[in-house]
Amino acid sequence: MNFLLDKKGSFFLVSGFFLLIILLLTKLLADELSTSIVLSAGPSENIEEIIDQIIGEKSTSSNKNKPDLKEEIEHAKSRLSKNDYKAAKSNYKRLVEHVDKLDKYKQNPLKYDNQGFLKNAPNEQVRQKIIQSRIAHLEQEIQTFYNNIIKIIS
């Protein structure tokens, strides 16, 4: 009888010890998660918000409420593989290039009419359709680069 009580007591002691370890690990994990950077955006952000965020990152304002996308990529570096980190940086670089390209194109579409589509358009309606199509294409590429970055660093 005493032998059974000793076994039960040992079982409860070991079980309690494991429960205590699990609780401590859970607390440590919760503390770690609460101090990590929360992504400032997700793949569902619209194109205007993405463009505003990239333009805001390029400005030198020190009034930031949330980390910018470049900072989030750097923060994720420690948990990403070398290839994923490189891909995120590459996508970010192309994202910035496309935001710049879109901004310049909106300011002066005729300057970037390399193939003469705008110059040779039969009327103003066709010209505007060509411009809107080019803008939509650039915005779609920006959205794709952004979504790729979020997928990689999430």
In the block, which residue shows the tokens 């918000």? 49
Q: The domain containing residue 77 runs over which residues?
A: 43-153
For 122-149, b where at least 16 C-beta lie within 10 A, e where not — what string?
Answer: eeeeebeeebeebeeebbebbbebbbbb
Does one domain contain both 83 and 110?
yes
- Residue scoring higher pLDDT (65 or 46): 46
- Give mean pLDDT, residues 12-38: 58
Identify the pLDDT of residue 25: 66
Nearest 5 degrees, angle CA 76-CA 77-CA 82? 135
The dihedral through the CA atoms of 39, 45, 49, 55 has a sign that is positive
pLDDT band at 50 (very low <50, low <70, confident <90, very high): confident
Number of domains in the chain: 2
Residues 6+ apart with CB under 8 A from 154: 39
pLDDT band at 81 (very low <50, low <70, confident <90, very high): very high
pLDDT band at 37 (very low <50, low <70, confident <90, very high): very low
For the chain, the straight-line distance linking the first and the last C-alpha, in angstroms and rounded, comes to: 56
- Give mean pLDDT, residues 19-37: 57
